[in-house]
Amino acid sequence: MDFRDLLAYDKAFKLAMEIFEKSKRFPKEETYSLTDQIRRSSRSVCANISEGFRKRQYPLHFLSKLSDADMENSETRVWLEFAFACKYLEQMEFEELTKQNVEIGKLINYMIRNPQKFGSTLPEK
């Protein structure tokens, strides 16, 4: 199995690409702030999932990277809210992107709660 086969990764990658396309419309004055931040955080979700998956034989590292992915996903949600409040996204766009973001968060949290299903096991206490 490859990290690209993970549903969380697949959905996060698609969301990051959709955010990239939509953020092309953001004003030029947002290039080094909102545009950069939302692109970086959404892409970081994917990067952390892939890094964690590659190190899943180390359970604590795996969980740490998944936690980082969840954190970046939450950050992406905040930037989506700013983009909507600034009127850079239409209501329906915001709702769809937010829906995808929430679903990704649920998938990441499922992975955190069930590491053994992804080839990792927690150390016994």
Name 42's Cβ contacts closer than 8 Å, sequence gap at least 6: 12, 15, 16, 19, 20, 72, 76
Instruction: Judge whether residue 121 has pLDDT over 90.
Output: no
| Model confidence, pTM | 0.94
Domain that residue 68 falls in: 3-118
In a domain, 56, yes or no: yes
In a domain, 113, yes or no: yes
% pLDDT > 90, the chain: 93
In a domain, 41, yes or no: yes
In a domain, 30, yes or no: yes
Three-class secondary structure of residue 107 per DSSP: helix
Instruction: Judge whether residue 65 has pLDDT over 70.
Output: yes
In a domain, 123, yes or no: no
- Into how many domains does the chain fold? 1
What interhelical angle do 91-113 and 36-54 show, nearest 10?
20
In a domain, 83, yes or no: yes
In a domain, 125, yes or no: no
Look up the CATH number of the domain holding residue 64: 1.20.1440.60
- pLDDT tens for 31-58 read 999 999 999 999 999 999 999 999 999 9
